[in-house]
Chains A and B, each alone.
Chain A
Amino acid sequence: MDRPLRLITANPVDQLARTIEALLVVASAPLSVDELAQAADDDSIRIETALGLLSDRYREGRSGIVLEHVAGGYAFRASREAAEACGRLFERPVERGLSQAALETLAIVGYLGPCSRPEIARLRGVAADSTVAGLLERGLIAEAGRDDGPGGAVRYRTTALFERVFGLEGLGALPRLDDLGESAAEIRERLHSVAVGRTA
């Protein structure tokens, strides 16, 4: 009844996945593949393999924790089915009460940033001082140098928190600006058609 001995060895990628789990648990912001590779002292390709393993393990419907690719990195979040319970325990101060002006300013900074307050004001037609200050306080935008011209107005860019709050993998995930709103020609055309309709 001699049975051959079978050595059970831990899958090395599985071990790496456990390390990545630990790193993501202690991180308060998404970690990029490079950051994970550096911290785990491993190469990027194996990190991505391990992340694939974890993405399957931590997904909606399977776990209360979900691994997501967001803001240029990977991070854990609560599963959607636990959202109600989370909502009873935590507030969402960053995105709570974002005004229309704040969202328009965020859009401008997100698409055109780094850009200065005068540039934002020119586009929106109103002063942007208080809106910019509010977004800075929420951590959705941050300073990003100064204009080269005279006066050197402070320029702003969106932060990783912005991408995370809006669930974006990066700014590249924003829709094309040309697909939003109307072009100048379209506006003229529409106004003309309205005019024709009215005068007819």
Chain B
Amino acid sequence: MTAVFDLPLDLDAFEGPFDLLLTLVLKEELEPAEVDVAAIVVAFVDGLAERDELDLEACGEFLVLIASLLELKARALFPEEAAELDELEPGEAAEELARRLAEYRRMKGAAAWLTERLAGQRERYFRVGPSPLAPRPERQLAPQDPERLAAALRRLAEPPARVSLSHMGLRFPPVAQFLERFRSVLGRRRRFDFDAEVSGLSRVEQAVAFLALLELRKTGEVALEQSAPFAPIRVSRAESERGAEWIVRSA
């Protein structure tokens, strides 16, 4: 700190130590705009080079001070801009500088107190480990009647009621049954009407009959005709279809 405050300066507008310069600026006896900030920085750096040691603390303090001074100078040089920005006036900035310095000095004082305190604790050795294992709080249950527990267990031990599967009682006749039936019909007749053939059967039986029909179509045993959607499906022997085609081609 002393190194910064006692820094000798030889500027155009001022000659003397840095702390005096600051005082004059704070007292508004010296215009910040007239202070050559760069020359102060050069003087400080020269001083550092002469001492041949890097005092980080002094550097930090110098930076804070010089930045504040620079801010004051900038505000003095560009008052209109400062007003536009609704920023602090130079006087207020000086007060702010003093306030910040005071705040920082208190913290430095606190750090010095901690340093001293720490030095006094060198002979205190204690165990440092991970956080202690806090006892896990047990879940508190209200007192329970053993008979109620037994009753609950008995209910669990009872076999569950049989689930009704009546809604699943659909009987699906085998597809093969309809395959045989349709082959038999086509053995007797060249064609038949599907709807007429399955009329009177249940919906499930009709569905299985339709599957059988598709199966016969897949194997090429029958030909299917339907003039329009939902119109009657006419089923005929496949060879008769092929025969008709042959007749047309040969004609």
Binding site for B on A (CB under 8 A): 26-29, 31, 38-39, 68, 75-78, 80, 82-83, 86-87, 90, 92, 94-95, 98, 100-101, 103-104, 106-108, 110-111, 123-126, 161, 164-168, 174-175, 177-178, 180-184, 186-188, 191-192, 194-195, 198
Contacts and interface: CB of A to CB of B under 8 A. Distances in A.
A174 B135 contact: no
A106 B113 CA distance: 11
A137 B19 CA distance: 38
Contact of A177 (B104, B106, B124): B106
B122 A104 contact: no
Interface string B118-146: 10111111111111100100000000000
Contact of A166 (B24, B63, B118, B128): B118
Contacts of B113: 107, 174-175, 180
B60 interface: yes
B23 A194 contact: yes
Interface in B55-93: 56-57, 60, 63-64, 67
B111 A103 contact: yes
Contact of A27 (B64, B98, B100, B132): B132
A107 B23 contact: no
Interface residues of B, number: 50
B20 A198 contact: yes
A141 B27 CA distance: 41
Contacts of B124: 68, 77-78, 80, 83, 167
B110 A111 contact: yes
B102 A187 contact: yes
A181 B67 contact: no
B118 A181 contact: no
Contact of B102 (A87, A90, A183): A183
Contacts of A181: 102, 104-110
B179 interface: no
B137 to A, nearest CB: 10
Interface of B: 16-17, 19-20, 22-24, 26-27, 56-57, 60, 63-64, 67, 95, 98-115, 117-118, 120-132, 135
Nearest to A193: B23
Contacts of A87: 125
Contact of B111 (A107, A184, A187): A107
B70 to A, nearest CB: 13
Contacts of A175: 110, 113
Given A181-B109, A194-B23, A165 B118 contact: yes
Nearest to A89: B125
Contact of A191 (B26, B95, B103, B104): B26
29 contacts: A26-B132, A28-B128, A77-B124, A83-B122, A90-B125, A95-B118, A100-B56, A100-B111, A103-B114, A103-B115, A106-B114, A107-B110, A107-B113, A110-B110, A123-B103, A123-B107, A164-B126, A165-B121, A167-B117, A180-B113, A181-B106, A181-B108, A184-B95, A192-B27, A194-B19, A194-B20, A194-B23, A195-B24, A195-B27
A184 B20 contact: no
A145 B30 CA distance: 46
A126 B101 CA distance: 14
Contact of B128 (A100, A161, A195): A161
A107 B127 contact: no
Given A104-B110, A178-B106, 6 more contacts: A86-B125, A103-B118, A166-B118, A174-B110, A175-B110, A195-B27
Nearest to B102: A184
Given A192-B27, A195-B27, A182 B102 contact: yes
A110 B106 CA distance: 13
Nearest to A110: B110
Contacts of A106: 111, 114
B109 A180 contact: yes
Contacts of B126: 75-78, 164
Residue from A68, A107, A126, A198 having most chain B Cβ neighbours under 10 A:
A107
B107 to A, nearest CB: 5
